[in-house]
Amino acid sequence: MANCSASIGPEDADVNVGVDRLLLALWQLDEGTFEGDVVHDTRDAHFPAPVESAARRPDVPLDLERSVGIVAGKEAAETVSVGHSLLIGSCSQRSRPDCYDPGVTIIHTSPLPAVDIPDVAVSQHILRHADRNPDRVAISDGGGTSYTYAELRDAVRRLAGGIHARGLSDGGCIGIMAPNMPEYAMVFHGVATAAAMLTTINPTYGAEEVRFQLNDAGATLLITIPMFSEVAREAIEGTDVTEIVVIGGADGALSLDDLMGDPIDQRPVNPAEDVMVLPYSSGTTGLPKGVMLTHRNLVANVCQMDHVIVYGENEVALAALPFFHIYGMQVLMNGVLANGGTVITMPRFDMVEALDLCQNEKVTRFFAVPPMVLGLAKAPIVDDYDLSSLVQIFCGAAPLGAELQEEASRRVGCQVVQGYGMTELSPVTHATPQGVNRPGTSGVAVSNVECRIVDPETGEDQDVGGRGELWVRGPMVMKGYLNNEEATAETIDSDGWLHTGDVAELDEAGHYSIVDRIKELIKYNGFQVPPAELEALLITHPAVADVAVIGVPDEAAGELPKAFVALAPGASITLEEVQEFVGEHLVSYKQIRLLETIDVVPKSASGKILRRELRDRES
């Protein structure tokens, strides 16, 4: 996709920079003495009732007090599912949160009500409003293309029939490489209804990156648009893909209409086991891996948001975040459709176009990333638009500073909240319920989520105020990485805890803040940039003898990838030369932004790059 542009002033134009790259891209303890295992819970917590409408509410303090109970033993403790903190272990100390034995396991549970998760295929849940509101617009591009709920469901069933007729149903894999458009939802749910798998591909990828994903996922059909058909043709060489389908049609390729068949109902699936979508993620480290998300993972996470984003009637959401990315796919596309709202798609983010759509389409939900929020807070052109329809701006993909969050809220006139998640978590595990906002935090654990905060050095669980790696468990945790049992085992332990690699802190109000990362991934404008991938590429440059890549903090982008290069004898290299070399092989956001030459890349005795030493040089 081309860089976004508009006829606006320089201050406004700056807003689009970085956003486009991203879119290519979540107590007070009673006194007492205890013998045995201890459970801390919030069954009597004063938590606001779910909001019943989309009306704006002032901030309401979240007062989560603790009640403390004593259970007979570990088995009994493990059955307690309510509340905020569950302690399993031996404790005979006074009841202060910092007075627990090193062996105690502290499980922090969601303060939100648990939700029931239907045992159905994802499309059966997402499109369930087609009977109740058949004539309501489900998804539109804000221009000439739109589908009502009835039209979308009918198109999904016909596409599923065509996929089945070609022998691709019941486990076959299809790739889609397209920007946001109404047909994206049709393809997603057509594949799901056929009980096939869909791998979602970044449309700005080069042929090498697309080919890797197609091969790894085992795709045999690729769906794209005319703009990317040339890359698609090059990418399928050396893969099992035998046909390219072009939405809108192109010479020498099937159109999406050609793929349609006789309508069918949902093909049989095992929701808990059958993989529906394969987005790619670098996980906590390393090269991109296929994330196996089942029908149940997807349905569960949509349901888990029920007490966080409470939709009213006639809701309209702006969809600038890409559907190939788990945030756009689940929180936006599926989440809004599952609640009977209207999705307005944007193929790429442009501030002026976004403001036009918000005003003209009466957008109520603006799903954003930090650079967008920065624009809403700072760009002068925002004052020219009526944004009074907005109920909430939900920001994710990267942390948002409290001051910017509050500034944007004042400027636009609605609440700005944050969430936290990962592709491997379908994706949301933490979010801010309406009316319960603590700027600078990622909110509370959503329904049916358990958390631990574990000191990476000592392995000890942390209570309120302590810092450690965030571990999460629940129905949204991925099935695993495709064809990579080792990486799966490194990420999900034998007790089902997914180790996020992010360092978190839990405050007295039950809100989590992501304060650091122990993983090596660089978060550039919210998108994952694996240092290992850049290092493996740069080491092939003739001027480079050794190289290490780290993320350097940046207010606008979050982090900038910086390369530390040890030069080959007699060689020299410039940042421009590095960028040209990287640009020939990788997508634009996987680009070196800063360069420094050094004599030796610091490494441990085992040969591991000592990135901490490099980060210390930047502080």
Single out the residue of 181, 414, 431, 173 nearest to residue 302, CA to CA: 431
Domain residues for the domain of 207 are 122-131+146-270
> Which among 270, 293, 323 is the end of a domain?
270
What pLDDT is attached to residue 85?
53
The percent of the chain in helix, strand and coil, each rounded to the nearest 5, is 30, 25, 45
Strand intervals (E) in 362-449 = 365-368, 392-395, 415-421, 428-431, 444-445
> Which among 270, 302, 331 is the end of a domain?
270
Residue 152 lies in a domain: yes
3-class secondary structure, 344: strand
CATH code (residue 196): 3.40.50.980
The answer to whether the CB of 349 falls within 8 A of the CB of 372 is yes
Rounded distance between C-alpha atoms, residue 533 and residue 412, angstroms: 39
Residue 325 lies in a domain: no
Residue 91 lies in a domain: no
> Over the chain (619 residues), what is each successive 10-residue block's mean pLDDT?
33 46 33 28 34 32 28 31 43 31 85 98 97 96 95 98 95 97 98 98 95 98 97 97 93 92 98 98 76 98 97 96 96 98 97 97 95 90 97 89 90 96 97 92 97 92 94 98 95 97 93 83 85 88 93 91 95 97 94 96 73 87
Q: Which two tokens stand for residue 30?
A: 């009673």
What pLDDT is attached to residue 284?
57
What pLDDT is attached to residue 368?
94
Chain CA centroid to CA 606, Å: 34
The answer to whether the CB of 315 falls within 8 A of the CB of 500 is no
Residue 576 lies in a domain: yes
**596 beta partners:** 564
CA angle 318, 322, 326 (to 5 degrees): 110
Residue 62 lies in a domain: no
Rounded distance between C-alpha atoms, residue 186 and residue 539, angstroms: 42
Number of separate domains in the chain: 2
DSSP string, 269-302: --TTT-EEE--EE-TTSSS-EEEEEEHHHHHHHH
Residue 509 lies in a domain: no
> Which among 239, 270, 301 is the end of a domain?
270
Residue 356 lies in a domain: no
Rounded distance between C-alpha atoms, residue 589 and residue 21, angstroms: 6
What pLDDT is attached to residue 133?
94
Q: Which two tokens stand for residue 70?
A: 């004593």
Residue 551 lies in a domain: yes
CATH code (residue 582): 3.30.300.30
Half-sphere exposure (CA, 13 Å, Cβ side) for 459? Answer: 2
Rounded distance between C-alpha atoms, residue 458 and residue 473, angstroms: 21
Q: Which two tokens stand for residue 296?
A: 């149940």
What pLDDT is attached to residue 604?
63
What pLDDT is attached to residue 65?
29
